[in-house]
């Protein structure tokens, strides 16, 4: 985290930002700090700022937990809230092994084109459908207890009639 972030008033006072929990705001700030900015000569100010690594931003759950001393569920809920409000977009879902991290695109940066700033459309539109759902458990499905089964065999009666 080498530089600071400028939050324009339209972002700060937007409904999308105001509904975020403190943990979600912390996560957004951490993700925004990971973005590199490059200034190039241009005729307009909007075209002069480029984010070369936006879409390749990652922050691991372990990093976030070490920064803020929270639990894993806080990270997950914060990430989901940022996706739902349109502040970030998941580009690649990691977790397939060591070093395979999820990649995000930050949509709240100052010089992102307005048509890509999803958060402006919140709450009329949300992106809850883009929140990754956990895959169904496939291991042991056939051997799981069915409803009404206890797993114990009924004892055989030892008394005769």
Assigned domain for 103 exists: yes
Tell whether the model's pLDDT for residue 87 goes beyond 60.
yes
**Which residues does residue 88 pair with via DSSP β-bridges, in sequence order?**
106
Range of 79's domain?
A: 9-130
Position 20 in a domain: yes
Position 53 scores a pLDDT of: 81
Q: What is the DSSP letter of 142?
A: T
- pLDDT tops 60 at residue 105: yes
Q: Would you place residue 112 in the very low, low, confident or very high pLDDT band (cuts 50, 70, 90)?
A: confident
Mean pLDDT, range 92-121, rounded to an integer: 87
Higher pLDDT, 47 or 81: 81
Tell me which residue has tokens 């691991």: 60
Whether 106 maps to a domain, the answer reads yes
For 31-45, b where at least 16 C-beta lie within 10 A, e where not — what string?
Answer: bbebbeeeeeeeeee
Residue 11 has pLDDT above 70, yes or no: yes
* Cα 122 from chain centre: 17
Number of domains in the chain: 1
Residue 115 lies in a domain: yes
CA dist., res. 49 & res. 110, Å (int): 9
Residue 159 in any domain: the answer is no
Instruction: Please give the residue that has the higher pLDDT: either 12 or 159.
Output: 12
Give the pLDDT of residue 97.
79
Query: Is the pLDDT score of 147 beyond 80?
Result: no
pTM: 0.76
Whether 66 is in a domain gets the answer yes
pLDDT tens string 33-79: 888 777 766 565 555 677 778 888 888 888 899 999 999 999 999 99
Per the structure block, which two tokens stand in for 51?
A: 């984010």
């Amino acid at each position: 985290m080498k530089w600071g972030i400028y939050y324009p008033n339209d972002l700060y006072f937007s409904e999308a930002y105001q509904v975020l929990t403190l943990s979600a705001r912390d996560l957004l700030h951490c993700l925004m700090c990971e973005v590199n900015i490059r200034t190039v000569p241009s005729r307009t100010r909007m075209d002069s700022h480029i984010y070369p690594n936006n879409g390749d931003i990652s922050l691991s759950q372990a990093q976030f937990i070490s920064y803020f001393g929270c639990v894993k569920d806080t990270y997950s809920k914060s990430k989901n809230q940022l996706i739902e409000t349109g502040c970030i977009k998941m580009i690649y879902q990691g977790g397939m092994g060591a070093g395979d991290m999820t990649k995000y695109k930050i949509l709240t940066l100052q010089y992102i084109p307005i048509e890509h700033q999803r958060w402006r459309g919140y709450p009329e539109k949300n992106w809850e459908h883009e929140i990754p759902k956990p895959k169904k458990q496939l291991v042991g499905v056939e051997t799981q207890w069915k409803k009404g089964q206890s797993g114990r065999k009924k004892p055989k009666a030892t008394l005769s009639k």
